[in-house]
Amino acid sequence: MTITIHGIRNCDTMKKARAWLDAHGVAHAFHDYKVAGIDRATLEGWARKVGWERLLNRAGTTFRKLPDNQKQDLTETRAIELMLAQPSMIRRPVLGLGDRLVVGFDAGDYESAIASLPRD
């Protein structure tokens, strides 16, 4: 199984997550969605798994700078449009573990997720 961490290279939380994976010998691919982009199908799939509310980074500067009318009465469709237009609005990191996702970085969550992976 390929483990992929999705996010933005210079994000401090991403750096912590990648350092944790490296320190624990977890081989992984890195997808920088600010450089390589992210497609609608991927975001919609993530939203089905974890909910669009969990994916949308409302605490980030990019979201906070939006005009109030774009932040109010959000729906999944509108939130996905915002994240497609400005990938910085996607909470980071998104760790893909086969059919599972871990959104955000918490060392305990990563440890549990990695421990539950099937061993070769």
Spot the catalytic one: 11, 56, 80, 97: 11
In whole angstroms, how far apart are CA 20 and each of 11, 16, 29? Answer: 14, 6, 14
91 is catalytic: no
Query: How far is 105 from 15, CA to CA, in rounded Å?
Result: 10
Query: In the sheet where 3-7 sits, what is the strand order?
Result: 29-32, 3-7, 94-97, 100-103
Of 5, 7, 17, 3, nearest to 91 (Cα)? 7
Instruction: Give catalytic residue positions.
Output: 11
